[in-house]
Structure 1
């Protein structure tokens, strides 16, 4: 079986892996010799392609993004996000609310003692500090670049002024980079680790608070750029630093710099520019206890869009093995739901926002799909404002709630979905996940490699939407149909089947995609050749491939 480890090792393309890839899940606990708790192992991260997979695979217990928000990263199970108010620009009502909503601890200003960082005087930082305190979160001091232990230095001046004004500081975050000696080889590791230990002891002796080492790595940063130690030295340095930190009871957490490479820098990331785990990444994973034997994360559940096309539909739905289905309605459309299959209701358009439809939806499922293609005049045909006005009635069902399912452009700033989501956020409306539709265009259907082109375009769209909103996704309609408004273009049926398999494999590598549904179970009159069953109720090659995929879930 192909696993996520195979993909992350660069041995196979995400667009061509077979279905059933395993995903890293739970986190083991860690203890120092003698049974005392080790400091929590973390990492600094930012949004890149496949960052969700890398973060989950690394086994990190916590991470931060130098921002009050996740940076559109999906936090893995067993991992904690820690927000930061990096600069004074983050001190907005929205930034502070994001931080409070995203975590329980808050990191203070990033490198205020550096012109390239927050660039604040101690008195300026103390003046702004009550705003950070108002979040009610456990609060870390500003993260100085260096010299945290020096009497009269930046941090010492801040802590003295904070104490005089009764300001709260709960722990001290620190950064540390080695000297040039580490570049000479493994023989310098012991001295560098001893130097770091001395620094931590001096800071703790000065302020008497717990310490978080939020940036540590085997990289020397200088005015002319950065220099990283040899990969083997990086890995051994990580091992020895972690062992040293485990013996310091006041060190609560540490974070390696960084998860992925920093553009233009010679650094020591856990995963390289090709998303391949590095030598130091393997050691981090080993320390974290991450491995292929951990419980797999569930891949996206295969589903189908259908309607009552005759008595045969009940048998057809059961034979496909679909995990779920929907009918573009609040009811089953007289379809019998098979065992181990879930019906998901939908409020299709404004005419369906009625007591009867909403009651049917609440009685028939646990999740509710929002309006169908409100951005199209021939579908729900709603403005974002009219959808928002009706939204409280959908929320009142108490069901898990999907945003309106737009026909296209879900990632476009100022587009229909973006306008709706912005309005929902400002009005405090609830949206739990994003349903999407994706179909091919004529260019894709005319390409030499239809399956490859379609899979790439689909994945890029899903990633763009997830990056914009940071919510789970459901792909509720997709197939190789180009809806031209005249004679629709439909790919050959064998190509459709190959695309279905490739798409399922690709979505299995996107942990933010919870479910997908092919369009459609019975044939649709203007898109013949894309359904699981044909006009004679005979299963198509697409249907056979769907059933084989569903049998693996």
Structure 2
């Protein structure tokens, strides 16, 4: 999750109707208005308060386990280890009576060595296990939505009749809402499925401890307003979630939702209001 390449490719160059893989019926969006999410991997009382303070419609933890019982939870099978060694699917199935979830998120950044770190072959081989849940399945969330890894996975999914019900997307880029919304539209056009933007924020990948981000908080908040409004006008965008990083993080600190003491920043207050 530390380094990403952002390509502003024309929409026509990204659209590829041939990649409409298995589960054509799944291309119908399930919601009339994109639902705002929160992502938080913590399990302490502060994490609970932070999730609640954002007024989300749903949340996830990058895990198959939930940490807060009073909000709709979407589990994730983060990687092969959790799937094969931690009985992640068994846990998801056992929790269904409490979570009532209809969705399951697939592998997290399988193309990143510090995240799921999986080959396309391995992901394709394990995907039928996720299908056994009967839940709607979100695609693996790659480092960026134009990745070769994702394209190869979706080609294999079509060939091997695997079910992928919606596309998941990560995006960390400059605060240009038009560029971001074009990426979202391009992902939908290419794979003809609903879209969940499960991680996004403004990032200055050249920032360091001694060189501040060139993107100010007002710039970030303008981007947030415009992208949330834009996604809610896209009938195929089902859900989105802003990514929280610490306020002292050089790259994404101006995107942070929380101060170091856990209280909301102005950006967090804005997100909570949207």
Structure 1 residues 514, 330: CA separation in 2 closer, same or farther (over 3 Å shift)? same
- SS at 1:351 equivalent: helix
Structure 1 residues 490, 400: CA separation in 2 closer, same or farther (over 3 Å shift)? farther
1:498 and 2:222 are equivalent in the alignment: yes
1:529 and 2:261 are equivalent in the alignment: no
- Distance, in Å, in 2 between the alignment partners of 1:316 and 1:521 is 13
Q: Deviations over 1:184-226 (max 9, x none)?
A: xxxxxxxxxxxxxxxxxxxxxxxxxxxxxxxxxxxxxxxxxxx
**Deviation, structure 1 residue 483:** 4.1
Report if the CA contact (8 A) 1:326-1:344 is conserved: yes
Equivalences for residues 92-131 of structure 1 within 5 A: none
- Distance, in Å, in 2 between the alignment partners of 1:391 and 1:435 is 15
- SS at 1:352 equivalent: helix
Which residue in the other structure is 1:348 paired with?
Answer: 78
Report if the CA contact (8 A) 1:301-1:514 is conserved: yes
1:314 and 2:48 are equivalent in the alignment: yes
Which residue in the other structure is 1:142 paired with?
Answer: none
**Deviation, structure 1 residue 525:** 4.9
Report if the CA contact (8 A) 2:39-2:51 is conserved: no
Task: Look at both structures and tell me which one has the larger radius of gyration over its CA atoms.
Answer: 1
Equivalences for residues 56-75 of structure 1 within 5 A: none
- Structure 2: 5+ residue runs without aligned partners? 1-10, 26-30
1:436 and 2:149 are equivalent in the alignment: no
Structure 1 residues 524, 387: CA separation in 2 closer, same or farther (over 3 Å shift)? farther
Which residue in the other structure is 1:368 paired with?
Answer: 104
- Distance, in Å, in 2 between the alignment partners of 1:358 and 1:522 is 31
**Deviation, structure 1 residue 299:** 1.3
Structure 1 residues 484, 436: CA separation in 2 closer, same or farther (over 3 Å shift)? farther
TM-score (norm 1): 0.41
- Distance, in Å, in 2 between the alignment partners of 1:474 and 1:390 is 22
Q: Deviations over 1:449-504 (max 9, x none)?
A: x4xxx211111111111111100000000010134596694732232222111101
CA RMSD of aligned residues (A): 2.8
Which residue in the other structure is 1:457 paired with?
Answer: 179
Please point out which of 203, 209, 232 is paired with 1:481: 203
**Deviation, structure 1 residue 402:** 0.5
Which residue in the other structure is 2:6 paired with?
Answer: none
Report if the CA contact (8 A) 1:322-1:547 is conserved: yes
Structure 1 residues 486, 397: CA separation in 2 closer, same or farther (over 3 Å shift)? farther
- Distance, in Å, in 2 between the alignment partners of 1:524 and 1:392 is 41
Q: Deviations over 1:43-66 (max 9, x none)?
A: xxxxx99xxxxxxxxxxxxxxxxx
Q: How many equivalent residue pairs?
A: 244
Please point out which of 377, 384, 390 is paired with 2:120: 384
Which residue in the other structure is 2:4 paired with?
Answer: none
Structure 1 residues 536, 322: CA separation in 2 closer, same or farther (over 3 Å shift)? same
Which residue in the other structure is 2:155 paired with?
Answer: 422
Structure 1 residues 395, 486: CA separation in 2 closer, same or farther (over 3 Å shift)? farther
Which residue in the other structure is 1:540 paired with?
Answer: 265
- Structure 1: 5+ residue runs without aligned partners? 1-47, 50-70, 73-93, 103-296, 445-449
**Deviation, structure 1 residue 391:** 0.6
**Deviation, structure 1 residue 379:** 1.4
Structure 1 residues 351, 546: CA separation in 2 closer, same or farther (over 3 Å shift)? same
Structure with larger RCO (C-alpha < 8 A, sep 6+): 2
Which residue in the other structure is 2:89 paired with?
Answer: 358
